[in-house]
Amino acid sequence: MKINVILEKSFEKWLKTLGYAQGTVLASTRCISDFFFYLETVEITSLEQVTPEIISSYYGYLQTRPNKRQAGALSLNYITANINAIKRFNRYLQQSENYFFEIPVKATPDKQPPRDILSPREIRSMYNACTGDYLGMRDRAILGVFYGCGLRRSEAMMLDITDLMFKEMRLYVRKGKNYRQRRVPITKAIREDLENHTYVAREKILSFKNIKHDALFLSRHVKRMSGNSLINRVQVLATRAKINKPVGLHTLRHSIATHLLQSGLTLEEVSRFLGHSSLESTQIYTHLTCKL
């Protein structure tokens, strides 16, 4: 089994077929491309030659490799992403090529980086940072989707106006991870924010070009908001709220998961809420703490 671009492209197609988010697909294929390049440098020409020792040496290489974008070494997040990509590639090989290589336990980072979460007070301060105009209404709706509903970035990006189920007090997630669908409950406050966004702010944005659009979140250019645009809005609110910690879209998801567990919901209930396929993915939140 020769290491080549065709195998890399086939892996990318496999990830897309399974419904991985576009960002995960791009990052995973990039990591595998880097892994292939490393194998060439150590004169490995086929995957049959990949041993546990080779994987361990690659892990050691990542720990000592300089960061190309900034001074210092690679972050633990980046190293973990590379190892996880190799694990995904291994599953692809097993399912598609009837072949896999052994990944030693010591090649898995011993400690995951701490997940930043926001306290309920910090969440309230971000809501208070929303302005009273149509953009502020959109910001409140964004907070409602990412914090109140705990959606992933890709899930929120793909929301359409028809996914709002106001009478049922639900938000329909059509394109969840691995193509899983779910209906997420919403509170009265979130419904009110979504209604204000839908019937006031969104209509205001549509009027800029007098066109129709299905997307729930629209930019001022009347286009579906990208993941980067959504992240930017959240970070603007965090800056206004004077929150001195990294805040992203997943920070809001981590925060609501932790707060729900702290409020007394069971692990199974939170797992269904987040759209996890197994309880293992949800258990990480049992180790998070938050100063209320």
Amino acid 246: pLDDT: 85
Tell me the C-alpha distance between 218 and 209, whole Å.
12
Q: Which residues of 171-205 are buried (b: 16+ CB within 10 A; e: fewer)?
A: bebebbbeeeebebebeeebbebbebbbeebbebb
The fold adopted by the segment(s) 120-287 is hpI Integrase; Chain A (1.10.443)
Amino acid 1: pLDDT: 46
Place of tokens 């250019």: 221
pLDDT digits (tens, 9 = 90+) for 242-282: 998 889 898 998 899 888 888 878 778 888 888 876 655 56
Instruction: Give CATH 1.10.150.130 domain extents, the chain.
Output: 5-107
What is the CATH number assigned to the segment(s) 5-107? Answer: 1.10.150.130
Tell me the C-alpha distance between 150 and 205, whole Å.
25
Amino acid 291: pLDDT: 37
Amino acid 268: pLDDT: 80
Residue 123's region, left for phi above 0, alpha for psi from -120 to 50, else beta, is: alpha
Contacts 24+ apart (CB under 8 A), 31-40: 31/81, 31/82, 31/85, 31/86, 32/8, 32/85, 32/86, 32/89, 33/8, 34/82, 35/82, 35/85, 35/86, 35/89, 36/3, 36/8, 39/3, 40/3
Strand partners, 73: 66
Tell me the C-alpha distance between 25 and 178, whole Å.
12
Tell me the C-alpha distance between 197 and 220, whole Å.
14
Amino acid 108: pLDDT: 54
Supply the pTM of this predicted model: 0.63
Ranges in the chain, pLDDT < 70: 1-5, 68-72, 97-115, 175-179, 277-292
Amino acid 77: pLDDT: 75
Amino acid 285: pLDDT: 57
Instruction: Give CATH 1.10.443.10 domain extents, the chain.
Output: 120-287
Q: What distances in angstroms separate CA 12 from CA 19, 187, 282, one per listed residue?
A: 11, 38, 27
pLDDT digits (tens, 9 = 90+) for 6-32: 788 888 888 888 877 788 888 889 898
Residues marked active site are found at: 152, 177, 250, 253, 276, 285
Both tokens of residue 167?
């009478």
Amino acid 60: pLDDT: 85
Both tokens of residue 212?
């129709």
